[in-house]
């Protein structure tokens, strides 16, 4: 979901999946007490990146960034499942779309960035049009499908350095998917 070395070799696009950011923002603004330690860790990561020179970020910080972002995104998905967090998700998605537009207009991976911006736009439309009840179940499934499609595009375009790691990640995602009732 997150490349630990993304900030070290920052390219034209976002270092994290663009649909992960809205989920994380929805989780950051939730009411759950569980978010506070992760917000503190996010602040620590931001301070580590700010204090270090631009190419010399600590290697452990990338893993900690990934962990914090994944937990906040999971909290945001839970919040959307509960029928809350729509406005925070919309603000995060709009920010991700605005940040992705320059990469979609120019850069070496313009086509991939344009598809990612289009997926974020589809997520914005989906969250904006669905009611709280519909967004809580069917909408979250559709948002997770959009996120999975975005990750599949990233794997297909070679953004993953290790093909074996990509297969392991796919196997883990399939194993973690909820069983049918």
pLDDT digits (tens, 9 = 90+) for 36-58: 999 999 898 888 877 766 655 55
pLDDT of 74 > 70? The answer is yes
- Tally of residues, the chain: 181
Q: Is residue 96 part of a domain?
A: yes
* Arithmetic mean of pLDDT over the chain: 76
Tokens describing residue 136: 């809580």
Q: Is residue 1 part of a domain?
A: no
Q: What is the pTM of this model?
A: 0.72
- Count up the domains in the chain and report the number: 1
CB 34 within 8 A of CB 75: yes
pLDDT digits (tens, 9 = 90+) for 78-121: 898 888 889 999 999 998 888 888 877 876 677 778 888 888 88
Print the domain residue range for 79: 20-156
pLDDT of 13 > 80? The answer is no
> pLDDT > 90: what percent of the chain?
13
pLDDT of 166 > 70? The answer is no
pLDDT of 133 > 80? The answer is yes
The backbone region for 180, taken as left when phi is positive above 0, alpha when psi lies in -120 to 50, beta otherwise, is beta
Report the distance separating Cα 7 and Cα 14, nearest Å: 9
Q: Is residue 174 part of a domain?
A: no
Q: Is residue 135 part of a domain?
A: yes
CB 22 within 8 A of CB 14: no
Tokens describing residue 83: 């029928």
Q: Is residue 48 part of a domain?
A: yes
Phi, psi angle pair for 70, to nearest 5°: -65, -40
Tell me the mean pLDDT in the region 136-148. Answer: 85
CB 46 within 8 A of CB 7: no
Integer angstrom CA distances of residue 35 from 39, 70, 75, 89: 6, 12, 8, 16
Phi, psi angle pair for 91, to nearest 5°: -65, -45
Q: Is residue 176 part of a domain?
A: no
Q: Is residue 37 part of a domain?
A: yes
Q: Is residue 65 part of a domain?
A: yes
């Amino acid at each position: 979901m997150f490349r630990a070395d993304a900030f070290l070799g920052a390219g034209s696009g976002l270092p994290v999946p663009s649909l992960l950011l809205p989920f994380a923002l929805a989780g950051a603004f939730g009411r759950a007490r569980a978010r506070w330690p992760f917000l503190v860790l996010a602040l620590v990561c931001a301070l580590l990146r700010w204090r270090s020179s631009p190419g010399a970020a600590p290697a452990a910080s990338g893993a900690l960034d990934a962990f914090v972002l994944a937990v906040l995104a999971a909290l945001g998905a839970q919040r959307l499942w509960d029928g809350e967090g729509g406005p925070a998700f919309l603000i995060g998605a709009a920010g991700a779309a605005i940040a992705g537009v320059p990469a979609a207009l120019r850069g070496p991976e313009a086509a991939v960035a344009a598809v990612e911006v289009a997926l974020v736009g589809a997520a914005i439309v989906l969250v904006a049009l669905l009611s709280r009840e519909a967004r809580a179940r069917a909408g979250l499934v559709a948002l997770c499908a959009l996120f999975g499609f975005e990750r599949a595009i990233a794997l297909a375009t070679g953004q993953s350095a290790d093909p074996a790691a990509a297969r392991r990640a796919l196997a883990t995602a399939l194993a973690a998917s909820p069983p049918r009732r």
